[in-house]
A and B are shown apart, each in its own frame.
Chain A
């Protein structure tokens, strides 16, 4: 019989183990979310990360090794972005009618996001490289990483900031918007897409299909706007 160490050393070299672990931890996270009736705080992404991170640490697995397996899941971020065309198409007439409120909410949400994150970080005395890392945090990960690089931030830390932002957005959106007594699903979805990109959009899609379509649009528009305004706003804080 082959001993455990040998099997482990074989499995830990290929992509199979960590791809399976990614799907398994997410399945656990999703089961928890369903069991909690999709309560905002029980977020499947957070649960999966909270299970995987200590697992990597305990087994001494470097992130690069983990990513070799997980890249197959990561790759689908592109195709899922293309898939957002479907809810957009189905809601095109409503989106066209809402052009004015959307444009106003896009500018207001995007500027508020970048200005407030930099103002709070600066008040805590964080340095210029961390400010550059934070400035694009509301944009979807691939865009934010590109912007961070250009501004002199840390791209990989920006990716983490983007994810935490998305998770915060997914958790706070429902209670916050209920508190504000906003019932318009277009306003609710769009603002979450602008402030919390894909993770916010994923949450919006689970709550309401109109909110999901407008969230996807908010995410796409803010990816473009953040690329344009983040450098300008950062300059105000340096």
Chain B
């Protein structure tokens, strides 16, 4: 498990360092994920090593958003005053974005004869 964690942290560290060094407009872990994809493609041993830990983390991904979510307590004043409009804006745009994104995907897949099998 230590080696799996080490491999994951090394990818994250490389991602963070590269993003800072080059001033890229994306988060370090996202670049780290790309690096991990490349590494997993190169080595089946790494894949076998990382899989159990990665699966465990992914299975509990929701938990990791709780600490940031509790940050809601610091904004009680503005959420009390403007909470309604803010919530409706988030609700409306999220529903629209999911619908438009999914319908676009399906339409372009149909047009280009792209089927999943």
A223-B27 CB under 8 A given contacts A163-B65, A164-B87, A176-B99: yes
| Inter-chain contact B67/A224, CB cutoff 8 Å | no
Q: Mark A138-181, 1 if CB is under 8 A from B, else 0.
A: 10111100100000000011011101111111001100110010
Residues of A within 8 A of B65 (CB): 45, 77, 141, 163, 166, 198-199, 202
Residues of A within 8 A of B32 (CB): 78, 81-82
CA of A44 to CA of B26, assembled, Å: 28
Residues of B within 8 A of A141 (CB): 65, 68
Question: How many CB-defined contacts (below 8 Å) exist between A and B?
Answer: 321
| In the complex, A234 has a CB within 8 A of chain B | no
Chain A interface bracket (under 10, 10 to 19, 20 to 34, 35 or more): 35 or more
Which B residues fall within an 8 A CB radius of A? 5, 8-9, 11-12, 15, 25-30, 32-34, 36-37, 39-41, 47, 50-51, 53-55, 57-59, 61-75, 78-79, 82, 85-109, 112, 114, 116
| In the complex, A56 has a CB within 8 A of chain B | yes
| Inter-chain contact B69/A163, CB cutoff 8 Å | yes
| Inter-chain contact B89/A169, CB cutoff 8 Å | no
A105-B36 CB under 8 A given contacts A53-B72, A81-B29, A191-B97: no
Nearest-neighbour CB distance to chain A for B44, whole angstroms, equals: 11
Q: Which of A87, A140, A168, A201 has the most CB of B within 10 A?
A: A168
Which A residues fall within an 8 A CB radius of B? 22-23, 25-26, 30, 43-46, 48-49, 52-53, 56-57, 63, 66-67, 70-71, 73-74, 76-89, 92, 94, 97-98, 100-102, 104-106, 108-110, 112-114, 116-117, 120-121, 124-126, 130, 134, 137-138, 140-143, 146, 156-157, 159-161, 163-169, 172-173, 176-177, 180, 182, 184-188, 190-192, 194-196, 198-199, 201-203, 205, 210, 212, 218, 220, 223-224, 227-228
| Inter-chain contact A187/B105, CB cutoff 8 Å | yes
State the main secondary structure of chain A at its contact with B. helix
Q: Which of B41, B68, B95, B108 has the most CB of A within 10 A?
A: B68
Report the 10 A-B pairs with minimum CB-CB distance, sorted nearest first: A109-B101, A191-B101, A70-B67, A85-B36, A124-B85, A117-B93, A113-B97, A195-B97, A187-B105, A83-B54
| Inter-chain contact B104/A108, CB cutoff 8 Å | yes
CA of A134 to CA of B87, assembled, Å: 11
Residues of A within 8 A of B51 (CB): 86
| Inter-chain contact A184/B109, CB cutoff 8 Å | yes
| Inter-chain contact A169/B66, CB cutoff 8 Å | no
| Inter-chain contact B27/A143, CB cutoff 8 Å | yes
| 10 A-B contact pairs sorted by A residue (CB < 8 Å) | A78-B32, A134-B89, A138-B93, A143-B26, A164-B87, A166-B65, A168-B94, A187-B109, A202-B65, A224-B25
Residues of B within 8 A of A66 (CB): 67, 70
A192-B98 CB under 8 A given contacts A77-B29, A86-B50, A161-B90: yes
Neighbour of B70 across the interface among A53, A101, A202, CB < 8 A? A53
